[in-house]
């Protein structure tokens, strides 16, 4: 399905459908500026006008049982118009239509809201000014991603399906490419348009994202393999390699045996590490007392004298080899930084020590001068080591090799205890060699315990992380494989 924007160039094809021209998939800098000028021309009665413009395009393809099931090409635009008339409060309206009549109607609606807010005594208020900073130059655009056509996506799916089909296996998967742009333009702050200080160094940013994952299963339902990867640049994703890896895992995981639940030494592949660490990363968002503050793993208790919550900032919380950081300029991550996000690199856990927790804008301004709002890590990098998975296996007397986890659910917010399932490949290691495929387990474990029980770390690599931030951008991660002792498996499951 294609979303047609009013005023966007389109072209018919022989099938009678109307399709947008490729150059209309997202709005350019010049188009955003021209759109702003049109909106300002509709304003009446003075005051201030600010505009936020976002546009996106997404092409996707799904397949199952060796056949493509869904192919789509979607796009849309959203314009948020803010108006503050003299003696009025801030008012806003949103439109996804770009014709003059729709834009003028949105401006009038924003002015009515501004006037109504003034009558109700809701002034715009005085807010602290953000400190000046220079927005980092993020690497977030790829022509290879933007140029991946519907036809090419179909060819890629066929190349991933063919090897599995030739082996009598069933392939399923998902491929997505996406591009988006965002502009923030405010006439009251000309430095925004000139590229100076304030919320953004540059009011316009465009980015791309790509992801691909595939599962291969045998006809009898006894073996399953998976592989996937996310990146802003499609050129960094090798779909044929993903398909081959999923097929290899499927063939190796057939006819698994049952093992007794218990505590095992585990070798977690990078995807499994990311699945587990996700629980920890999500708790780094706020330094303030959250709802039910005592449930946070980073709070020690409330200070009787000040009434403030004491945190574990400055304390060792995981193995000293573990560092979790975030850098918008990291070319391997491709992070799209939020408007109110602290711009520079942030280290959350530094060699095992908790060094940062997210905080609100008001806290940053009033309590910590010179610092910025810190929402918690979107994309992140976890430190690694130099030990390969093969070396981890060779040095393991008895343990389990885990491909990934699924259906993870938190059980306790203070300890981060969680439960979930192993999926798509689990193998027993005996005397330094993989001996047999094993039926999947349910685990009950905390990432804090695992990261304090690390024996070996592998090189950090990009993984599949389809999580989106508030602006709809992917939040990539780079993590290592690791070997840890005493991982708790509590029961066997029949799922593959």
pLDDT band at 5 (very low <50, low <70, confident <90, very high): very low
If one compares 77 and 132, the residue with the highest pLDDT of the two is 77
Q: What pLDDT was estimated at residue 299?
A: 85
Task: Give the mean pLDDT of 434-441.
Answer: 96
Q: What pLDDT was estimated at residue 454?
A: 97
* Identity of the highest mean pLDDT range in 21-30, 45-54, 387-396: 387-396
Task: Give the mean pLDDT of 252-279.
Answer: 96
Q: How far is the CA of 215 from the CAs of 173, 219, 230, 244, 463, in angstroms?
A: 6, 13, 15, 10, 15
Q: What pLDDT was estimated at residue 125?
A: 42
pLDDT band at 388 (very low <50, low <70, confident <90, very high): very high
If one compares 315 and 368, the residue with the highest pLDDT of the two is 315
Least confident window among 51-55, 291-295, 384-388: 291-295
Question: Are 166 and 358 within 8 A, CB to CB?
Answer: no
The closest alpha carbon to 262, from 115, 405, 400, 99, belongs to 400
Q: What pLDDT was estimated at residue 198?
A: 39
Question: Are 213 and 62 within 8 A, CB to CB?
Answer: no
Task: Give the mean pLDDT of 178-195.
Answer: 66
Tens-place pLDDT, residues 454-488? 999 999 999 999 877 666 677 889 999 999 999 99
If one compares 440 and 129, the residue with the highest pLDDT of the two is 440
> What is the rounded CA–CA span in Å between residue 247 and residue 60?
22
Task: Give the mean pLDDT of 190-206.
Answer: 51
**Is residue 380's pLDDT more than 80?**
yes
* Identity of the highest mean pLDDT range in 8-12, 120-124, 146-150, 439-443: 439-443
Task: Give the mean pLDDT of 91-104.
Answer: 92
Largest Cα–Cα separation, the chain: 80
Helices (H), 199-269: 239-252
Q: What pLDDT was estimated at residue 403?
A: 97
Q: What pLDDT was estimated at residue 288?
A: 57
Q: What pLDDT was estimated at residue 360?
A: 59
Q: What pLDDT was estimated at residue 448?
A: 97
If one compares 373 and 406, the residue with the highest pLDDT of the two is 406
Tens-place pLDDT, residues 272-312? 999 999 999 988 876 655 555 457 898 887 777 877 778 89
- The 10 Å Cβ neighbour count of residue 407 is 11
At 202, is the secondary structure helix, strand, or coil?
coil
**Is residue 267's pLDDT more than 60?**
yes
Which residues make beta-bridge pairs with 75? 57
- Domains recognised in the chain with CATH numbers: 10-214 (3.30.2290.10), 256-496 (no CATH)
> What is the rounded CA–CA span in Å between residue 73 and residue 177?
10
Task: Give the mean pLDDT of 27-45.
Answer: 91
Q: What pLDDT was estimated at residue 286?
A: 65
pLDDT band at 348 (very low <50, low <70, confident <90, very high): very high
Tens-place pLDDT, residues 118-157? 554 444 444 444 444 455 566 789 999 999 999 999 999 9
- CB-count burial class (<10 Å; 0-12, 13-18, 19+) for 495: middle
Question: Are 78 and 97 within 8 A, CB to CB?
Answer: no
Question: Are 415 and 401 within 8 A, CB to CB?
Answer: no
Share of the chain above pLDDT 70, in %: 80
Question: Are 145 and 229 within 8 A, CB to CB?
Answer: no
Q: What pLDDT was estimated at residue 126?
A: 41
| Straight-line distance from the first to the last Cα atom of the chain, in angstroms, rounded to the nearest whole number | 34
Task: Give the mean pLDDT of 158-167.
Answer: 97
Question: Are 397 and 432 within 8 A, CB to CB?
Answer: yes
444 phi/psi in degrees, rounded to 5: -135, 105
Give the chain's mean pLDDT.
Answer: 84
Residues 6+ apart with CB under 8 A from 111: 43, 44, 45, 47, 83, 85, 88, 91
pLDDT band at 491 (very low <50, low <70, confident <90, very high): very high
The full 3-state SS of 279-309, as one line of letters, equals HHHCCCCCCCCCCCHHHCCCEEEECCCCCCE
Q: What pLDDT was estimated at residue 301?
A: 76
Tens-place pLDDT, residues 220-253? 989 999 999 999 999 999 999 999 999 999 999 9
Q: What pLDDT was estimated at residue 328?
A: 79
């Amino acid at each position: 399905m294609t979303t047609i924007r009013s005023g966007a160039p389109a072209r018919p094809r022989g099938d009678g459908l109307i399709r947008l021209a490729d150059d209309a998939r997202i709005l350019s800098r010049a188009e955003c500026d021209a759109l702003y000028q049109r909106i300002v021309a509709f304003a009446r009665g003075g005051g201030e006008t600010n505009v936020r413009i976002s546009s996106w395009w997404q092409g996707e393809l799904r397949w199952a049982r060796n056949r493509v099931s869904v192919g789509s090409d979607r796009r849309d635009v959203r314009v948020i118009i803010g108006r503050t008339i003299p003696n009025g409060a801030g008012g806003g309206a949103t439109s996804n239509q770009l014709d003059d009549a729709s834009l003028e109607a949105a401006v009038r609606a924003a002015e009515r809201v501004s006037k109504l807010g003034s009558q109700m005594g809701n002034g715009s208020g005085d807010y602290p000014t953000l400190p000046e900073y220079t927005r980092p130059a993020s690497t977030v655009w790829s022509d290879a991603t933007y140029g991946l056509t519907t036809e090419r996506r179909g060819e890629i799916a066929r190349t991933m399906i063919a090897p599995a089909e030739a082996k009598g296996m069933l392939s399923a998967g998902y491929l997505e490419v996406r591009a988006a742009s965002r502009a923030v333009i405010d006439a009251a702050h000309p430095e925004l348009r000139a590229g100076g200080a304030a919320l953004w160094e540059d009011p316009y940013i465009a980015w791309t994202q790509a992801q691909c994952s595939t599962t291969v299963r045998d006809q009898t339902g006894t073996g399953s393999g998976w592989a996937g990867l996310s990146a802003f640049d499609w050129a960094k994703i090798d779909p044929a390699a993903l398909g081959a890896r999923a097929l290899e895992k499927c063939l190796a995981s057939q006819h698994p045996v049952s093992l007794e639940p218990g505590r095992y030494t585990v070798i977690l592949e990078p995807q499994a590490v990311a699945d587990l660490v996700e629980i920890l990363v999500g708790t780094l968002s706020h330094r303030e007392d959250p709802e039910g503050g005592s449930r946070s793993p980073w709070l020690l208790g409330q200070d009787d004298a000040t009434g403030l919550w004491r945190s574990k900032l400055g304390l060792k919380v995981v193995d000293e080899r573990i560092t979790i950081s975030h850098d918008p300029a990291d070319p391997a991550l491709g992070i799209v930084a939020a408007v109110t996000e602290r711009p520079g690199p942030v280290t959350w856990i530094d060699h095992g020590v908790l060094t940062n927790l997210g905080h609100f804008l008001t806290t940053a301004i009033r309590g910590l001068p010179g610092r910025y709002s810190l929402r918690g890590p979107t994309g992140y990098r976890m430190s690694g080591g130099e030990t390969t998975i093969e070396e981890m296996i060779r040095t393991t007397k008895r343990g389990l090799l885990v491909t990934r986890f699924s259906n993870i659910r938190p059980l306790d917010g203070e300890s981060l205890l969680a439960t979930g399932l192993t999926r798509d490949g689990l193998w027993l290691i005996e005397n330094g060699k993989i001996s047999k495929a094993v039926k999947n387990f349910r685990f009950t474990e905390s990432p804090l315990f695992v990261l304090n029980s690390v024996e070996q770390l592998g090189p950090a690599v990009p993984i599949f992380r389809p999580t989106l931030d508030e602006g709809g951008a992917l939040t990539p991660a780079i993590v290592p494989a690791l070997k840890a002792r005493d991982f708790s498996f509590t029961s066997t499951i029949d799922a593959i």
